[in-house]
Every structure is written in structure tokens, then in C-alpha cells.
Amino acid sequence: MLVITPHISLRDDEVSLNPIRSQGAGGQNVNKVSSAIHLRFDIRASSLPGEIKQRLLGKADSRITGDGVVVIKAQTQRTQEKNRAEALARLTELIQSVSKKPKRRIATKPSRGSKEKRLEYKKTLGVTKRLRSSVKDE
């Protein structure tokens, strides 16, 4: 059981963890040991609440595919156990980022003073631009 928040948790069968070989240089051991972890989590088929599913699917994140599957590859650690823990921590962090309901923005009007300041600034810029222009003979 993977606990995301006190109210949200995932069953172990919802998260697929596959060991793979790490990329890059690593000496003789890199070609023999599958220490990297490839995590896959299907958002639509999960037991997450519908509201959180929608926020996750709407999130612009490169780890979420068009089919609604989260794909995380962890390969920074030397052992499979540490990479597994890192991948699960990244998944937990991703779900926690959408678990809080975003605040609604309250539209406000600019104050009268700020409007006057803006118009005054525009006038001074216009004068400066006018002075930069070439002098025309009459």
C-alpha cells in the first residue's frame, strides 16, 4: 500500500515497477545488473478520486502520456531498492501536487491612482519618442 496523503492511498497492484538496465557509463557492472526502475501508473484505471484524476490528466507534465499513463524512470542510484524508492517518491510527489484544490482567482480592478500613473508614464514615453524623431524642415 502506497500512502499519498492521510486520505489517499494506492494499492500495490496499481503501480507497475519493472527493473531495467541503466543508461550511460558505469563500468563493467552496468551491462550485467538491472538496477534502474521503470514505473508505470494508469491514472484512469486507478482508485484515485475522480477530482484528482481530472487534475492529473489536465496537468501539463511530460511524464504523463496521452493515454493517461504516468511513466517514471529512476536510475540515479546504484541499487534497485533505492531507485524503486525514488520512483515511488516521485509518483507520490506528483499526486500530492494535484491533491490540493487550487484557489479561485478573484478578479480585481486597477485603482484610480494606478490608472493615472500608467497614463502619465505613457505620456512621458510619447514625449521621449517624439524628441528622438528627426527634425522636419517646413
Q: What is the DSSP letter of 76?
A: S
Total domains in the fold of the chain: 1
Which cell numbers in the block locate residue 5?
A: 496523503
Q: What is the DSSP letter of 25?
A: -
pLDDT, tens digit, for every residue of 103-126? 899 999 999 999 999 999 999 999
Which cell numbers in the block locate residue 75?
A: 536510475
- If one compares 41 and 136, the residue with the highest pLDDT of the two is 41
**Residue 113 within any structural domain of the chain:** no
**Residue 124 within any structural domain of the chain:** no
pTM: 0.71
Tell me the residue range of the domain where 37 lies: 2-99
**Residue 115 within any structural domain of the chain:** no
**Residue 30 within any structural domain of the chain:** yes
CA angle 66, 98, 1 (to 5 degrees): 90
pLDDT, tens digit, for every residue of 76-104? 888 889 999 999 999 999 999 888 888 89
- Alpha-carbon distance of 66 to 130, in angstroms, equals 53
**Residue 40 within any structural domain of the chain:** yes
Q: Above 70 in pLDDT, residue 28? A: no
Q: Count CA within 13 A, CB hemisphere, residue 122.
A: 6
Q: What is the CATH number of the domain that holds 31?
A: 3.30.160.20
**Residue 22 within any structural domain of the chain:** yes
CA angle 93, 96, 97 (to 5 degrees): 85
